[in-house]
Amino acid sequence: MESSVAVETAKHALLVFGYVWVVGIFCGILANKLKIPDVAIFLLVGMGMGPSQLNLVDIPMDSALNQGILIFGSCYILYDGGASLRLKVLKEVWLTITVISTLGLLITAGITAVAAYFILGVPFIVALLLGATIGSTDPATLIPVFRTVPIKDRVAQTVMSESAFNDAMGAILTFTLLGIAMGTGSFDLGQTLYALVKESFLGILTGAVVGVVTAFLIAHRRIGFLAEYSSVVSLLAVVGSYMLADALHSSGFMAVFVLGIVLGNKDALGLEMKHDEAEKMEHYVLTTAMIWRMFIFILLGAQVDFALMNTYLVGGVVVVTIFMLVARPATVFACAKLDKRANWSQNEMLFMCWTRETGVIPGALAGMLVGMKAPGAPIIASITFIAILMTILIQATTTAWVGKKLGLLVEKG
């Protein structure tokens, strides 16, 4: 009996995967025709496929399968994004990335918390938890957007790098505040900063070490004996760097992003793959990343709880509007102005103000808070879904238009 239940469960999972693949392919074609980021279409269609609508996709938010898809899918998209960055550009804007990923997240979370406190009438600790949960930007959304929208290099790479690096800060801040809210901890600025530096440093170190080893194995003239298996090796490297970083209690997402940067810039180590092998690996990564985007955003859309979201809809929309139009601009202008070397123009900063989608990582944090029965978890989850819907459907779909208006679009090479 148990085996038959297991077989039926497996069949059901395969059926759901089939739905996602078939629908995802047509969504990708439609997004290409409409010239908008495919993540927005995936999210909308996922909402229609969820349990509250067509009931074609019903993978619970707290299931091991869902968490596995979200974690590995986010890792792979981060790796893909890291590989597209260039060290030459990052050297010019590293200070902006550092400040906006740390101090910037605190500014965003603080302004959002104040708005939630007055508009929603929740206890201030719950408002702070909400601000911390939705404060980090989402690499799983932003990286695909910049794959299709050709924005000036240093602007795109700054926003993508911020989204990869600030997830550690968002998680640390969220769980620090959770400890206070549940009476199991207290806020210690020194300890919080130490935890952030430690997690960030170990994550960067892990990704760099795994990246260098992987680069030598697939691209060195003499010891690169795995060149023909570069796609499989890179897949293993993504899993390995995340798991190793997690074992060291550091940021796994940061590790896979740095892994991508190292492999994408392996020429700086004097390593170069044969043209056909490099082309094969690039095609594999792009195709695989697209498949993970389908799963992540269709699942995310399918898990939207309309009843819960409607309960706090009006207040939530107001809070998220302040989050988008007040908190983000205040964050960008306060942080980017500190980097005199980068000499950001007004238009570049305005573009960064508009580009800060909320997605998988805030959604996962909200799901964890619900599972842990944190104070105010239902309202936090509700506002988080509103933020995901508003930022992806409004900001992601207008990225190209805003970039064009601000004169930041470049010709595809």
Residue 7, in any domain of the structure: yes
Query: What was the pLDDT predicted at 184?
Result: 62
Over range 383-406, report the average pLDDT. 89
Query: What was the pLDDT predicted at 189?
Result: 64
Query: What was the pLDDT predicted at 364?
Result: 74
Query: What was the pLDDT predicted at 107?
Result: 93
Structurally, the chain folds into a number of domains equal to 2
N- to C-terminal Cα separation, the chain: 58
pLDDT over threshold 80, residue 185:
no
Over range 132-150, report the average pLDDT. 82
Q: For the segment 229-253, what is each residue's pLDDT rounded down to a tens digit?
A: 888 888 999 999 999 998 998 888 8
Q: For the segment 322-373, what is each residue's pLDDT rounded down to a tens digit?
A: 999 999 999 999 999 888 888 899 999 999 999 888 877 787 777 778 777 7
Q: The domain that contains 360 carries what CATH number?
A: 1.20.1530.20
Task: Find the length of the chain.
Answer: 413
| Residues 239, 96 within the same domain | yes
Over range 98-111, report the average pLDDT. 91
| Residues 24, 157 within the same domain | no
Residue 65, in any domain of the structure: no
| Residues 24, 147 within the same domain | no
Residue 66, in any domain of the structure: no
Q: How far is CA 12 from the centre of its chain?
A: 28
Please tell me the distance from the alpha carbon of residue 368 to that of residue 81, in angstroms, as a whole number: 26
Helix or strand or coil: residue 375? coil
Higher pLDDT, 307 or 246: 246
| Residues 155, 204 within the same domain | yes
| Residues 111, 176 within the same domain | yes
Q: Which long-range contacts (CB under 8 A, 24 or more apart) does 34-38 make?
A: 35/148, 35/400, 36/396, 36/397, 36/400, 37/141, 37/144, 37/145, 37/148, 37/149, 37/396, 37/397, 37/399, 38/144, 38/148, 38/290, 38/293
Helix or strand or coil: residue 27? helix
Q: Which residues contact 244 (CB under 8 A, 6 or more apart)?
A: 206, 210, 255
Domain of 23, in residue numbers: 2-57
Q: What percent of the chain has pLDDT over 90?
A: 26
Residue 67, in any domain of the structure: no
| Residues 93, 206 within the same domain | yes
CB 174 within 8 A of CB 106: no
Higher pLDDT, 223 or 21: 21
Q: For the segment 253-265, what is each residue's pLDDT rounded down to a tens digit?
A: 889 889 998 998 8
| Residues 36, 126 within the same domain | no
| Residues 49, 99 within the same domain | no
Residue 254, in any domain of the structure: yes
| Residues 47, 150 within the same domain | no
Q: Which residues contact 368 (CB under 8 A, 6 or more apart)?
A: none
Please tell me the distance from the alpha carbon of residue 32 to that of residue 16, in angstroms, as a whole number: 24
| Residues 162, 305 within the same domain | yes
Q: For the segment 359-376, what is each residue's pLDDT rounded down to a tens digit?
A: 777 877 777 787 777 888
User: How would you classify residue 249: left for phi > 0, otherwise alpha for psi between -120 and 50, otherwise beta?
Assistant: left
pTM of the predicted structure, to 2 decimals = 0.80
Query: What was the pLDDT predicted at 194?
Result: 77
For the beta carbon of residue 169, count every other beta carbon within 10 angstroms: 25
| Residues 146, 177 within the same domain | yes
Residue 117, in any domain of the structure: yes
Query: What was the pLDDT predicted at 1?
Result: 46
Query: What was the pLDDT predicted at 413?
Result: 54
Q: Which two tokens stand for residue 16?
A: 């759901």
Quick one: which of 48, 128, 72, 71 has its CA closest to 367? 71
pLDDT over threshold 70, residue 53:
yes
| Mean pLDDT over each residue of the chain, to the nearest integer | 85
Residue 63, in any domain of the structure: no
| Residues 29, 129 within the same domain | no
CA atoms within 13 A on the CB side of 102: 15
Residue 68, in any domain of the structure: no
pLDDT over threshold 90, residue 209:
yes
Query: What was the pLDDT predicted at 308?
Result: 77
Query: What was the pLDDT predicted at 160?
Result: 85
The pair phi, psi for residue 409, each rounded to 5°, is -75, 145
